[in-house]
Amino acid sequence: MKALKTAIFAATMMSGASAMAAEVSGNVALSSDYFFRGIDQSGGEALSGGFDVAFESGFYVGTWASSIDFSGGLELDYYAGYGGSFSEDVSYDIGYLFYGYPQGPSTEEFEEIYGSVSFSDVTVGFAYSDDYYASTGDSTYIYVDYGMSLTDAVSVGFHYGTMSADDDANEADDYSITLSTEAAGLAFDFSWIDSSEDGGLFADNEFVLTISKSL
Strand 59-67, strand 74-85: pairing: antiparallel
Each of the 215 residues of the chain gets a pLDDT tens digit; together they read 554 445 444 444 544 444 458 999 999 999 999 999 999 999 999 999 999 999 999 999 999 999 999 999 999 999 999 999 999 999 999 999 999 999 999 999 999 999 999 999 999 999 999 999 999 999 999 999 999 999 999 999 999 999 999 988 889 999 999 999 999 999 999 999 999 998 899 999 999 999 999 99
What burial class does residue 23 get, using C-beta atoms within 10 Å of its C-beta: 0-12 exposed, 13-18 middle, 19+ buried?
A: exposed
User: How much is the pLDDT for 27?
Assistant: 98
Q: Is 115 helix (H, G, I), strand (E, B) or coil?
A: strand
Residues 178 and 190 sit within 8 Å (Cβ to Cβ): yes
CATH numbers and ranges of domains, the chain: 2-214 (2.40.160.40)
Residues 60 and 82 sit within 8 Å (Cβ to Cβ): yes
User: How much is the pLDDT for 1?
Assistant: 54
Q: What share of the chain is helix, strand, coil (3-state, %, to 5)?
A: 10, 60, 30
Residues 177 and 157 sit within 8 Å (Cβ to Cβ): yes
Nearest Cα neighbor of 80 from 147, 164, 14 is 14
